[in-house]
Amino acid sequence: MTVYNADIAAMFVRTADLLELQEANPFRIRAYRQAARTIDELPKSLTSMLKEGEDLSELPHIGKDLAGKIADIVNTGHFNVMDELEREIPPGLVDLLYVEGLGPKRVSALYKNLDIKNPGDLRRAAMSGKIQKLPRFSDKITQKIVHALDARGTQQKRLKWVRAEQIAGPMIEWLKKINGVKQAIVAGSFRRRQDTVGDLDILVTCKKGTPVIEQFVKHEDVTEIVSQGKTRSTVILGNGFQVDLRVVPEISYGAALHYFTGSKAHNIAVREMGVKRGLKINEYGVYKGEKRIAGRTEQEVYKQVGLPYIEPEIREKRGELEAAKEGKLPNLVDIRDIRGDLHSHTSATDGRATLREMAEAAKERGYEYLAITDHSQHLTVANGLDEKRLRKQCAEIDRLNEKLKGITILKSIEVDILADGTLDLPDSVLKELDLRVCAVHYKFDLPAEKQTDRIIRAMDNPYFNILAHPTGRLIGERSAYRLDMERIVKAARERACALEVNAQPERLDLNDINCRMAKEAGVMLSISTDAHTTGQLDYMRLGIAQARRGWIEATDVVNTLPLTKLRKILKRS
């Protein structure tokens, strides 16, 4: 069975959490967390690297000990250290680690003081008022925990898009190697680039007689065959993820791709348009009576109802059909439009590459500019920069810009928005910078009005340029903080501030709905990676996909501008 990078990273994170519950050596805990981050960022699978004889101990934060553990996991599918820890700790206690509002320290306190061992115990203690008597457990926190427990019961298990990609990519490559296979593609929510993916819908075309289904169910990752027919099969992989495979004739490929890409609402509307023209549209093709008249390509399907091709990312029945009729479909932003990245970190704070390494990596990607936005002093956990260290970094950037050719490093900061709406550094130093990316990093639980007021007061500062990860969400881990996004968008327009589409896979913040709102209000966006390593600069493609879902065009994005025009916009005049 293939063990994916995401699986290994998850094992290391879980191990760190379990060790933290046991109040183990903090250096050991940190080692697992750092290793997990390294693994998450690898562009290549650890399984492949081991097969090719690469030395994993040379990777950042992966020494010989962890390299050996990774090899064991790849070979066995199990991590003995984690398994042993789980035997030592009540199983329900581990589940509490993933309740929003809790963490290892709070879970440990609940266990020690109230003998809470599972979500049921937690709910009963919360309802009886026992939790509120513990230190660091206010009424507000308790309400948040109960809400999180309720939400967990209704949530379908879904993977973040980038995790699903780790499964989909190798699966498609494997299918294409089957002799006789012509095309293999993932449809569904994966192709529409939704934030999370519930399962994979794969379509294949092949020569007649190709044993695709027979080989598919024998894939090494398959642990359960739910169904198996001549042209369709559903399987469950070892990590619990479901994959549906359909073999379709080439003459129906476009119709099937359209049908299985969705969304359901979009497809129903297209079929209704077909009915008005006397057509029947389904996964097999477009029919006039009993005769199939189209379906080999998606373009053919759309043409039969009088529409141009509509990009998968916007097939959500949110006005795309009307726009297509009127010839007003957006020319969606493309990664080739991007001229630079306006949010990145170095080892001066919590990044893991030097200033020069980040600059050279950006240059390799063909960028015209890169903003170094290390954290400001308030974020002590990230070793944030005070005035003295920031000015020292600016001087270093000046020296580097004199040496580098073909790229300009912008003197910048990710400055904290404090609780009262002021910025974490004085104007006297902020005005010396090329760019200020402003962010909320604490007090996420303020009421919507106060949180909104806080951010708008920060926008009043003339040195505020971009609102970073505007809603603060972490997909599947932390909900967006309460915010009046309409007021934020209006304030950004009035003050010539931009909003960020943060491309970190756990953020993808703004979401597609808010991207569209900003566009319609005339607010510019910055699609940035928030990169903490050189490899994370490649997350730009994730931000691009998110922006495309929000109908964003190159003209809506500040970092599609040449540097001279960007500088003018940053002056907010």
Q: What is the C-alpha to C-alpha distance for residues 100 and 147, in angstroms, rounded to an integer?
A: 9
Residue 106 and residue 232 in one domain: no
Residue 278 located in a structural domain: yes
Number of helices and strands in the chain (H, E):
24, 17
Instruction: Choose the final residue of a domain: 154, 179, 210.
Output: 154
Residue 60 and residue 106 in one domain: yes
Domain that holds residue 272: 252-325
Residue 330 located in a structural domain: no
Residue 502 located in a structural domain: yes
Residue 532 located in a structural domain: yes
Residue 140 and residue 166 in one domain: no
CATH of the domain at 241: 3.30.460.10
Tokens of 116: 């809470």
Cis peptide before 263 (omega within 30 of 0): yes
Residue 229 and residue 187 in one domain: yes
pLDDT confidence of residue 306: 96
pTM more than 0.95: no
Partnered with residue 415 across adjacent β-strands are 438
b or e along 314-347 (b: 16 or more beta carbons within 10 Å of the residue's beta carbon)? bbbbbebbebbeeeebbebbeeebbbbbbbbbbb
Residue 363 and residue 466 in one domain: yes
Residue 463 and residue 412 in one domain: yes
Instruction: Report yes or no: 255 and 301 within 8 Å, Cβ to Cβ.
Output: yes
Give the DSSP H or E segment for 204.
Answer: strand 200-206
Number of structural domains found in the chain: 4
**Pick from 335, 332, 342: which is nearest to 563 by CA?**
342
pLDDT confidence of residue 39: 87
pLDDT confidence of residue 44: 80
Neighbouring C-alpha atoms within 13 Å toward the C-beta of 478: 19
Residue 434 and residue 560 in one domain: yes
Give Cβ neighbours of residue 144 (< 8 Å, ≥ 6 apart): 100, 101, 445
Q: What is the C-alpha to C-alpha distance for residues 310 and 270, in angstroms, rounded to an integer?
A: 11
CATH of the domain at 29: 1.10.150.110
pLDDT confidence of residue 154: 47
Residue 139 and residue 117 in one domain: yes
Residue 399 located in a structural domain: yes
- The series of mean pLDDT values per 10 residues for the chain, 573 residues long, is 83 89 87 87 84 87 90 90 88 75 79 82 81 77 75 66 91 94 96 95 94 93 92 90 95 97 96 96 95 96 97 97 96 97 95 94 96 94 92 96 95 97 96 96 93 97 97 88 95 97 95 96 97 93 97 98 95 74
Instruction: Choose the final residue of a domain: 196, 212, 247.
Output: 247
Instruction: Choose the final residue of a domain: 189, 213, 247.
Output: 247
Per-residue pLDDT of 27-67, as tens digits, reads: 899 899 889 888 877 778 898 889 898 889 888 889 899 99
Q: In what order do the strands lie in the sheet with 285-288?
A: 280-282, 285-288, 291-294
